[in-house]
Amino acid sequence: MAKQKTKFVCQDCGYESTKWMGKCPGCHSWNTLVEEREAAPKTQRRGFSTTDGPRKIKAEPITKIERRDEARSSTHINELNRVLGGGIVPGSLVLFGGDPGIGKSTLLLQVSAMVAGNKKRVLYISGEESVKQTKLRADRLGIEEDDLFVLAETEVAVIEQVIEEMQPALVVIDSIQTVHQEDVTSAPGSVSQVRECTASFMRIAKTKGIAIFLVGHVTKQGAIAGPRILEHMVDTVLYFEGDQHHTYRILRAVKNRFGSTNEIGIFEMKESGLEEVLNPSEIFLEERSAGAAGSAVVASMEGTRTVLVEIQSLISPTSFGNPRRMATGVDHNRISLIMAVLEKRVGMMLQNQDAYIKVAGGVRLDEPSIDLAITVAIASSFRDVATEAGDVIIGEVGLTGEIRRVSRIEQRVMEAAKLGFTRVIVPQKCLEGWKAPSGIQVVGVKTVAEALEVTLGGKTSGTPSFEL
């Protein structure tokens, strides 16, 4: 009998080695290489064709290929539809990740009930809970749909057989780390099992036109467990973010072949399940303290949506040799850059001050237009002078102290006017080519010093502005 060959596979990056090593050469993680037996080579095809016998392969000119617009299925949850790009695409494979207890299973069970309410069959496969446990969650959410079927199974062959018999419109696999194939010798959740199981579900989705949602566990660093090959195989990757101690959850798309990757959906966790938040700006600003130093409001673009959030800053003298720089919701390096600009261009002595920056509400902001709001918040806390409660501050800060243009300024100002703000500070170049709405003052600034004079030191006579 031939000797069974083994290999060692890294559970973080998928690196393969013939011998065990304490540190993975691929991702430099410790104690992640696990021994797996090599599976016998398969003779079955892995393509999307379902015909028997040799296939005639023929390439087609792209101009001759017929275009078909796939009809999306609405989930009746506007926040999820926005993140998906307009709804569920038939034949798509969606990976859904998030921390334990964040609400992944709850949201997908609600989505399954919504789709089943349209007289479409939905198959919810649970590999972690029994059918009775899933029924308890459905009763809590008030779900009673005859077209929603529940199956507690972890064997891929059995799942494929059930899908073949039912022909559902939507399949939910909760979770991909619990299912396994018998011909793969490694344990469920390993790199080989996750890769093979995902490939099987991808073939089902593409050949039968069935939309499949895969739930993925995440590591301590927040990434989906297993190698990143899992994210490359699927069509859409969604992350469910939030704090278990807060009620708000943010659904963010990091990969989407059928829509934008800049969209976010905001939900609130309640006893009856997750409910969408239609106006998140009011939620993020409802507890803002009036007249507090170190606070500034910015209009940030998240995909096609404008979100007004509060940026808070606390500057205090340091008691250590090196001052601390801590940031929540924004990049730590951006804070150091902005503080260096304030020291060099404005003359603020911040080198002996601790800086703590936070975006209220648990949102993470990455776009450059929040630079000026962070700058004003830091200067406000350092000078102990409060900003005006009706101000919204928008702009990118350059290293020479200039305020640079940002995109979609009209949409940002409209959102500020809708929520009752009376003044918006914007880059000077953004005043050209558009008309401001009535009831709100728009002030253009060119430099950081000029912006601080307008927001903290009174408006200067030479500051260009217009009001309708």
**Each residue's pLDDT tens digit, 151-160:** 999 999 999 9
Read off the pLDDT of each residue in 120-148 and give the average, rounded to a whole number. Answer: 93
Q: Provide the pLDDT confidence category of residue 464 given band limits of 50, 70 and 90.
A: very low
CB 112 within 8 A of CB 148: yes
99 is in an annotated binding site: yes
Is residue 317 annotated as involved in ligand binding?
no
Could you read off the pLDDT of 409-454 as tens digits, one per residue? 999 999 999 999 999 999 999 998 888 888 899 999 999 999 999 9
Q: Residue 237: its pLDDT value, please?
A: 92
Homologous superfamily assigned to 72-278: P-loop containing nucleotide triphosphate hydrolases (3.40.50.300)
pLDDT at 73 over 70: yes
Per-residue confidence (pLDDT) for residue 199, from 0 to 100: 92
Would the annotation count 25 as a binding residue?
A: no
CATH topology assigned to domain 283-467? Ribosomal Protein S5; domain 2 (3.30.230)
pLDDT per position as a tens digit, 186-207: 788 888 888 889 999 999 999 9
- Confidence at residue 463, expressed as pLDDT on a 0 to 100 scale: 36
Q: Give the residue, 412 or 4, on which the prediction is more confident.
A: 412
Q: What is the mean pLDDT of residues 247-254?
A: 86
Per-residue model confidence (pLDDT) at position 466: 35
User: Could you tell me the pTM of the whole model?
Assistant: 0.75
Confidence of residue 468 (pLDDT cuts 50, 70, 90): very low
Instruction: Check the annotation: does 104 bind a ligand.
Output: yes
User: What are the pLDDT digits (tens) for 46-64?
Assistant: 555 544 555 667 888 988 8
Annotated binding residue 62: no
Q: Where are the domains of the chain?
A: 6-37, 72-278, 283-467
As a whole-number percent, the residues of the chain with pLDDT over 70 amount to: 89
Asked if the model's pLDDT at residue 40 lies above 60, the reply is: no
Q: Is 105 annotated as a binding residue?
A: yes
- What residues contact 456, with CB distance under 8 A and at least 6 apart? 376, 379, 380, 383, 385, 387
**What is the C-alpha to C-alpha distance for residues 345 and 341, in angstroms, rounded to an integer?**
6
| Segment 380-409 mean pLDDT | 94
